[in-house]
Amino acid sequence: AYAKKRGIDFADLTDEMLQQANRQKEMQHNFSSALRNGEFVSFYQPKVDTETGRIVGAEALVRWIRDGVVIQPDQFIPALEKAGMTEQLDLFILEEACKNLRKWISNGNEDMVMSVNFSRRDLEDPQLSEKIIHIIEKYHLNRKNILVEMTETTSEQEKNLMMRFMDTMSEHDIMTSIDDFGTGYSSLSALRDYTVNEIKIDKSFISHDELQDKDRAIIGSIIKMAELLHVDVITEGVENMEQVQFLQDLGCTKVQGYLYGKPLPPEQLEGMLDRQAAGMIHS
Ligand code: C2E
Ligand code: MG
Ligand code: MG
Ligand code: MG
């Protein structure tokens, strides 16, 4: 029975792999027209200061709306990365984010910091920095209002590209963040080698059922190290008050997570910002 079961599992797996390969091809094929047809949209997740409860920024996260169904990035970003097609999408999301930020700043949220994700594959384009700068300038944004997020690199070649990219961003006052910090091969050397303004502690560090001494030691050390290096810290994936308390005790008060808000369509985040501003007036 065991062998039979294994056989069935294996057959299912192969089938699934084939299907996935086909899906990938189809997606790559459809990507350009989807972009033209406006099927890609940007959602925004609030970044919150847990001490004040205020929204201090947002992260732009792409969604693919296809036949009315919302497709999450994990379902198409990997395929686009393999095909080297993320740059166009990332620049599009940056532009959408800049458009919205322009409006929100005009509505009185001057200190709002907008994070935008860029794939490491995008570094293969030597013009990437220029393209980013061009878009930010087009919307007359203060460059301090934009934070470029990128995950840690794995190869030496990519690392050199990323170092140069981070340096150029810094020269132009555009802030950078290392996303999913702590999950890469070389988080410590990343902190040493890259000119970054922020690290974003990966949600896996706080997602255990019970946070233990080990977690406290690791996250606490990351926060202390970042402090000594004058690098900002934000933690993602915060879903309950226990985690908020745990992070506050260790000195991290900037968070993102479902507890404070899921990624939302721009109108909805704008509503949250408006309510926040109204609260200030009444209090
Ligand atoms: P990321 O940049 O690390 O984004 C954080 C992910 O965690 C988001 O998933 C967000 O919805 C999710 N998240 C936020 N709070 C919580 C929480 O409290 N609990 C849990 N379980 N999850 C939470 P999302 O939007 O599905 O994005 C997944 C990944 O796709 C992103 O990870 C990023 O690597 C990539 N991605 C998203 N948008 C873009 C984009 O415009 N360009 C590129 N290149 N990659 C993108
Ligand atoms: Mg991110
Ligand atoms: Mg992340
Ligand atoms: Mg991620």
Task: Note whether 61 and 89 are within 8 A (CB).
Answer: no
Rounded Cα distance between 193 and 267, Å, is 39
- The 10s digit of each residue's pLDDT in 55-71 is 999 999 999 999 999 99
* Beta-carbon contacts of residue 175 (< 8 Å; ≥ 6 apart): 113, 143, 144, 146, 147, 148, 169, 197, 198
Q: Is pLDDT at 112 greater than 80 in this prediction?
A: yes
On whether the CB atoms of residues 69 and 39 are closer than 8 A, the answer is no
pTM, 2 dp: 0.91
Nearest-atom number in ligand 1 for the CA of 61 is 38
- CA 201 to centroid of ligand 4, rounded, Å: 11
Q: Is the pLDDT of residue 175 over 50?
A: yes
- Phi, psi for residue 192 in degrees, rounded to 5: -75, -40
Query: For position 280, what pLDDT does the model report?
Result: 65
Q: Which residues place a Cβ less than 5 A from the ion ligand 2?
A: 117, 149, 179
Nearest Cα residue to atom 33 of ligand 1: 117
Name the percent of the chain lying above pLDDT 90.
73
What local confidence, expressed as pLDDT, does residue 154 receive? Answer: 77
Whole-number Å distance, alpha carbon 282 to ligand 2 midpoint, is 34
Spell out the residues 6+ positions from residue 69 whose beta carbon is closer than 8 angstroms to its own. Answer: none
Q: Is the CB of 119 under 6 A from ligand 1?
A: yes
pLDDT, residue 26, reads: 77
The residues whose Cβ lies within 5 A of ligand 3, an ion, are 179-180
Distances (CA, A) of 247 to 125, 201, 252, 276: 38, 11, 5, 24
Q: Quick check: 1 pLDDT over 60?
A: no
What's the Rg (C-alpha) of the chain?
Answer: 20
Tell me the CA–centroid distance for residue 59 and ligand 1, in Å.
Answer: 9
Ligand 1 in reach of 86 Cβ (< 6 A): yes
Query: Does the Cβ of 177 fall within 6 Å of ligand 1?
Result: no
Mean per-residue pLDDT, 105-117: 95
Nearest CA to ligand 1 atom 20: 237
Provide the pLDDT for residue 152.
87
Is the pLDDT score of 7 beyond 80?
no
CA-nearest residue, atom 30 of ligand 1? 73
The preferred substitution site among 77, 91, 125, 264 for testing ligand 1, maximizing ligand atoms within 8 Å of CB, is 77
Query: For 16-49, how does the pLDDT look when each residue is reduced to its tens digit (9 = 90+)?
Result: 888 877 876 776 778 989 999 999 999 999 999 9
